[in-house]
Structure 1
Amino acid sequence: MSKLPQIDPATATGAAAELLAQVQKTLGVTPNMTKVMANSPALLNGYLALSGALGGGVIPAPVRERLALATAEANGCEYCLSAHTYIGANITHVDADELDRARDGKSTNPHIEALLTLSNAILGTRGAIDDADLDAARHAGVTDSEIGEVVGHIALNVLTNYFNTLSQVANDWPVVTPRLAA
């Protein structure tokens, strides 16, 4: 059971109502996470703004989903693993093997694997990566724009991972269990 209530879009008022309507219009659904985030319209607005800004960046959606999976696995967030596995498979059309590899920071594509490896290194060191890690990413073709966006995606995904774990948001996606919990 969620530790914070879901705000019903049908009865929401003010900024919460406007933001939930925006989510519904954009996604065609209103995920439970956003209903719970609507307890703080500032939080929901910040999440939507950062997600939207990064969505317009240089990292394509199928790679963003892999980055989200790697971070969710590292943080043990079942809700985010479930959501991004579903989105990765059904919306960005990443095959199941690649989605599974992403959870471990791996890919059959060397450039994507370099992004995942960099992301896991940044996450694991709280940003204090070795020069060798950055050099390896650049050697694999990772650009400065991608490096910046990887940090942005870590921030976005840690936000949702921690929020969902703390709030115990009811999972409205096909369940994917973190490997550490399995």
Structure 2
Amino acid sequence: MSTLQKRTFTVPTRSQVSANNQAIFDNLQKGIGFVPNLYAYYAKNETALDDYLTLQNRKSTLRAKEREVINLVTSQINDCRYCQSAHTALGKMNGFTDEQIVEIRKGSASFDSKLDALVKFAASAVENRGRATEESKEAFFAAGYDEANMIDVVMVIGDKITSNYLHNLTGFEIDFPLAQLL
């Protein structure tokens, strides 16, 4: 009987990726001061990093703070420590307190009724693989969101599931301050 060894996944350096991806690394370095390991890992594929950044940076009907709510909820449900940590840092940059971030990750936002409806809708959509409860959908619309917003919620969930799954499959090093375990 053979025993399988756990595969180790490594994050490529700038010199290990294509010229196109090196240019993206340079832009990330200039723009945010470093190349997050998640982005670097996407660069193992010729087109994935550019494709992912295009998706992540698309125009949206949702404010940055609302997108962070969805990112935090989705990453919590999918148990992705990398994305929990990255979006805790980004959530703080978007004005959330540590306590609010923990509350969002736990599935509510008592400090803001509209965000609370968004948290519950996003969580229901992720947990039920797109079949959000009627209650969460109606609360989402009653809070002032519309169908264009709903489409953007699904786009952000899809973006985050992609990252969650990639990190959960590989387990490469987390290069953000570790988010609190819940």
Q: CA contact under 8 A between 1:62 and 1:88: conserved in structure 2?
A: yes
2:48 aligns with 43
| Relative contact order, higher structure (CA 8 A, sep 6+) | 1
Match of 2:132 among 108, 113, 129: 129
Match of 1:174 among 174, 177, 182: 177
Going from structure 1 to structure 2, the CA distance change for 1:35 and 1:58 (only over 3 Å counts) comes to same
Q: Residue 12 of structure 1 aligns to which amino acid in structure 2? A: V
Unaligned segments of structure 2, at least 5 residues: 1-5
**What are the residue-to-residue correspondences of 1:9-24 with 2, within 5 Å?**
9-10=14-15, 12-24=17-29
Instruction: Give, in whole Å, the separation in 2 of the partners of 1:86 and 1:2.
Output: 29
Q: Which has the larger radius of gyration?
A: 2
**What are the residue-to-residue correspondences of 1:116-155 with 2, within 5 Å?**
116-155=119-158
Partner SS for 2:12: coil
Residue deviations 1:25-84, cap 9 Å, x none? 33222111111111013221221011010xx31211122122111111101111111111
Which TM-score applies when normalising by structure 2? Answer: 0.88
RMSD, aligned CA: 1.9
Going from structure 1 to structure 2, the CA distance change for 1:2 and 1:32 (only over 3 Å counts) comes to farther
Displacement of 1:131 in angstroms is 3.4
Aligned length: 176
Q: CA contact under 8 A between 1:77 and 1:178: conserved in structure 2?
A: no
Displacement of 1:10 in angstroms is 4.6
Instruction: Give, in whole Å, the separation in 2 of the partners of 1:159 and 1:11.
Output: 23
Q: CA contact under 8 A between 2:64 and 2:94: conserved in structure 1?
A: yes
Instruction: Indicate yes or no: 2:118 matched with 1:115.
Output: yes
Instruction: Indicate yes or no: 2:69 matched with 1:66.
Output: yes
Displacement of 1:129 in angstroms is 2.6
Match of 2:82 among 68, 79, 83: 79
Instruction: Give, in whole Å, the separation in 2 of the partners of 1:87 and 1:136.
Output: 26
Instruction: Give, in whole Å, the separation in 1 of the partners of 2:68 and 2:108.
Output: 13
Instruction: Give, in whole Å, the separation in 2 of the partners of 1:166 and 1:39.
Output: 15
2:3 aligns with none
Partner SS for 1:173: coil
Residue deviations 1:161-180, cap 9 Å, x none? 1111111120111112543x
What is the identity percentage for the equivalent residue pairs of Structure 1 and Structure 2? 23
2:11 aligns with 6
Which TM-score applies when normalising by structure 1? Answer: 0.88
Q: CA contact under 8 A between 1:106 and 1:113: conserved in structure 2?
A: yes
